Structure 1
Amino acid sequence: MNRDDMMRLNIAEDQALTVTAVSNDGVTRCIEGLRAHAFDIPAGCAIGYYPECNPLIPLAHHAKRSKVPAAKAIPVRVNAMPR
């Protein structure tokens, strides 16, 4: 995550997180236990690895022409789990 975002959200390095995809299809897509790490990325952004983050991708969220899952830009909410 962006270091300033982590500070603003009171998230510590290596703290466990719950990450929930933001979508309007009525399906809850959530991953618990991911770990926060500060990276030099733009504010408001987070990065994650696949296949661990695959459960966050709505099947309807795909590239228009190729129809491949649009895994590079998934809106999410990040919440710190209790320490």
Structure 2
Amino acid sequence: MLIRKTTSLNLVESGRNTEFFLQEAKLCQHVLELACGTGLTTLYLAERGVHIDGVDILPNMIQYAKQKNPNENARFYVGMP
């Protein structure tokens, strides 16, 4: 299992770092995003070929993320607080 530590950063809003984090994510077989909220970053990475799971403790956030998810590379789960 390969674990990479990165800083918390919204990839979609930080244009200059987006490509760096996308390249890092592609080095892993699978990525786990904690506190994914509505899945904005999760879906951004999934659309670019990254296999990623998003987890959040708020069921309504996960429900929204699942509704707007057309990509099989992304899965969403409700986590335990």
TM-score normalised by the shorter chain: which range applies? under 0.3
Higher relative contact order (CA 8 A, sep 6+): 1
Q: Whose helix fraction is larger, Structure 1's or Structure 2's?
A: 2
Q: TM-score, normalised by structure 1?
A: 0.26
Structure exhibiting the larger radius of gyration computed from Cα positions:
1
Q: TM-score, normalised by structure 2?
A: 0.26
